[in-house]
Amino acid sequence: MEAVAKLTFDRQYFEVMYSEWLQYRSRYRKIAIPLALLLITIGLLIATWLSSPAIAIAVIIAGIFDVVETLTYRRRWLAKALDGTSGRYAELTFTDTDIRFKSDFSNGTIRYETFDSAVATPDSVFLIPTNGSTVFVPFATIEPQDVVESFVDTLLLNVKRGRQ
């Protein structure tokens, strides 16, 4: 198997990455707003049942802070991701034994043993290393397109085999 993914680290790439991460990888972000609203509700209940409003105010403020933090997180994450990487390019060549990469600044080889796990979604795959940043590969960037299905199966198998 050989497949090539050509990645351009632009706003569209990071927006798709965030959306896929939120839907398939995130544990807390999906439920952050309901949890924050629950905190506010608990604070209001405490305020009605206890004579000391200090605890209620602290819980309500924590809930409001969580709402604001959650609603602004995506924008802050995108700004940080785009800072210094916007427009950069990488080409990943997936083989049966490793991943070869070429980018604006370096070239190299990554062995599958580097990855702790791989998570396939309907439109992409996340390669999660033991240390470092996750590699996100949208299927739309893979050439030739007719190998995407076998690419995913082989990639998941290689990462699993590399961990053993």
| Backbone torsions φ then ψ of 130, nearest 5 degrees | -60, -45
Residues 62 and 112 in one domain: no
Domains of the chain: total: 2
High-pLDDT (> 90) share of the chain, %: 49
Quote the pTM value. Answer: 0.81
71-109 pLDDT, tens digit each = 999 999 999 988 877 678 899 999 888 899 998 888 999
| Inside any domain, residue 14 | no
CATH number of the structural domain spanning residue 112: 2.30.29.30
Q: What is the 3-state secondary structure (H, E, C) of the chain?
A: CCEEEEEEECHHHHHHHHHHHHHHCCCCHHHHHHHHHHHHHHHHHHHHHCCCHHHHHHHHHHHHHHHHHHHHHHHHHHHHHHCCCCCEEEEEEECCCEEEEEECCCEEEEEHHHEEEEEECCCEEEEEECCCCCEEEEHHHEECHHHHHHHHHHHHHHHHHHHC
13-36 pLDDT, tens digit each = 999 999 999 998 888 888 999 999
Hey, how many other C-beta atoms are within 10 angstroms of the C-beta on 125? 23
What gap in Å lies between CA 112 and CA 131, rounded to an integer?
13
Stronger pLDDT, 162 or 98, i.e. the higher one: 98
Residues 65 and 98 in one domain: no
| Inside any domain, residue 15 | no
Which of 82, 113, 133 delimits the end of a domain? Answer: 82
Domain that holds residue 147: 3-9+88-163
Which of 40, 55, 82 delimits the end of a domain? Answer: 82
| Inside any domain, residue 103 | yes
Is the confidence at residue 58, as pLDDT, over 90?
Answer: yes
